[in-house]
Chain A
């Protein structure tokens, strides 16, 4: 109770210092928030592109419907395969006419349908990497009535290379931003505690227990970090809203990321206070 009272009394006594510390925390986390926003949207975009990864097995014209039904069942049963869609020769031609309108004349002059029937295999998310896709393609190609299997080998490899690089870049940059934010927050909290080092001195001098001395400062650090984290969310949301309405639509951060960001602010504040108080506790 004393800790809570002292923590709020400290905020009341030096509101400007608390506000400045919280603002520093907010700005540091705002940069991390902006980075998170970019990383999240990049991730979603790559996810959407990855959704288009599929294996297409082109079938010979003499495939029998019973064979086809069994094959569809077998392929659907594979854990990596999400669903299997049969595209008949007629459907393939209709689809081609719709998707390739610039060849309308060519399609009109056709005397017979040259397009093969096919099986389109959509893969379960997490199984769209080049190795898995190649393995499934090889497996599908073993059926005697499968004439050819395509999955855009080069395209899938490039997509995964891009995804891999984006992951590493995001990890390194994210860690860098988080580190800078942590240092800024630690400095902000240290400044706030430095201003109250005399109180720590007096408390140690007269025989207050270390835990008793620490608690108000830890609460103050936690409070400053949480307030800074909340302001960082507001700033990030403002930036998101501005980009959404003025430049292009994008997705807001998942709620668990937002909660995590605010908690990280509080956590950084708490840890920074712990170290700063420890330093002054050693002085007396």
Chain B
């Protein structure tokens, strides 16, 4: 599902490479944590998988798309298969929870009559039906992250990437959001979550853990030797 082969990412004028010869393979339906200190290359890895960046060396393959063969014009096809959520949610603050979702549905080609019913179903899936009419900036951090997850699900992706999704959340909201990720994973979705919070990782002993250190893959609990 996600395959990195000898991936190096160098940002010119920014010191040593952000990633160096990183190789791993995450299979369909897997739940994996990507851990490491700040600056270890977690976000860069997610951005490479989402093809917001291209590797300087090596190849990234995601759900049939290769970083070497997918042009900028075709990235949208990959994005519909790979959802992504962020620490700072990146919602449209002046729009309601429902509108944030209908916006994502509309710009990805959902016919107008289906927009609201589908957005309502997605909000219901993340347990936020009652907040459909609330503007994003009026919601709590946990609620905003749920809306962001619902938005990421708008295109029914096969993979969900999460970049420090609990970074701005309190303990209770973190628990709720993580449960949601697990439910999604249980339904067959591949989840790759970047976090520096090892307590979070310890709560899910069954999950695969990939640890990055200064741009190198230092540990992979699921590596096939």
Contact = CB atoms under 8 A, between A and B. Distances in A.
A206 B155 contact: yes
A199 B79 contact: no
Interface string B130-155: 00000000000000000000011011
A205 B90 contact: yes
Q: Which of A2, A199, A207 has the most CB of B within 10 A?
A: A207
Nearest to A216: B107
Interface in A201-256: 201-210, 212-213
Contacts of A205: 79, 84, 90
A206 B108 contact: yes
B52 A284 contact: yes
A210 B92 contact: no
Nearest to B101: A206
B216 interface: no
Interface in B85-108: 90, 92, 94, 100, 103-104, 106-108
Contact of B104 (A2, A206, A209, A284): A206
Given A198-B90, A210-B73, A204 B79 contact: yes
Q: Which of B52, B76, B104, B107 has the most CB of A within 10 A?
A: B107
A201 B79 contact: no
Contacts of B92: 198-199, 202
A282 to B, nearest CB: 9
* A interface secondary structure, majority: helix
B84 A208 contact: no
A14 to B, nearest CB: 10
B79 A207 contact: yes
Interface in A252-277: none
Contacts of B84: 205
Contact of B106 (A2, A13, A198, A284): A2
Contacts of A201: 90
A284 B52 CA distance: 5
Contacts of B118: none
B161 to A, nearest CB: 11
Given A2-B106, A202-B104, A203-B107, A209 B76 contact: yes
Contact of A207 (B76, B103, B106): B76
Given A198-B92, A206-B154, A213 B107 contact: yes
Contacts of B100: 202
Contacts of A203: 107
A269 to B, nearest CB: 22
A201 B76 CA distance: 12
B203 interface: no
Interface string B29-49: 000000000000000000000
B108 A207 contact: yes
A93 to B, nearest CB: 84
A207 B90 contact: no
Q: Which of B72, B76, B80, B90 has the most CB of A within 10 A?
A: B76
Q: Which of A2, A209, A213 has the most CB of B within 10 A?
A: A209
A57 B94 CA distance: 82
B77 interface: yes
A2 B115 CA distance: 13
Nearest to A2: B106
A119 B160 CA distance: 93
Contacts of B80: 206-207
Given A198-B90, A202-B92, A202-B104, A207 B155 contact: yes
A212 B107 contact: yes
Interface in B6-33: none
A204 B79 CA distance: 8
B21 to A, nearest CB: 26
Nearest to B153: A206
Contact of A202 (B73, B77, B90): B90
**In the A-B complex, the 9 residue pairs with the closest CB atoms:** A207-B79, A207-B80, A208-B107, A206-B104, A207-B76, A203-B107, A209-B76, A207-B108, A284-B52
Interface of B: 52, 72-73, 76-80, 83-84, 90, 92, 94, 100, 103-104, 106-108, 151-152, 154-155
23 contacts: A2-B107, A198-B90, A198-B92, A201-B90, A202-B90, A202-B92, A202-B100, A202-B103, A202-B151, A203-B107, A204-B76, A205-B79, A206-B79, A206-B80, A206-B83, A206-B104, A206-B107, A206-B108, A206-B152, A207-B76, A207-B79, A210-B73, A213-B107
Given A207-B80, A208-B108, 13 more contacts: A202-B90, A202-B104, A204-B79, A205-B84, A206-B79, A206-B80, A206-B108, A207-B108, A207-B155, A208-B76, A210-B72, A210-B73, A212-B107
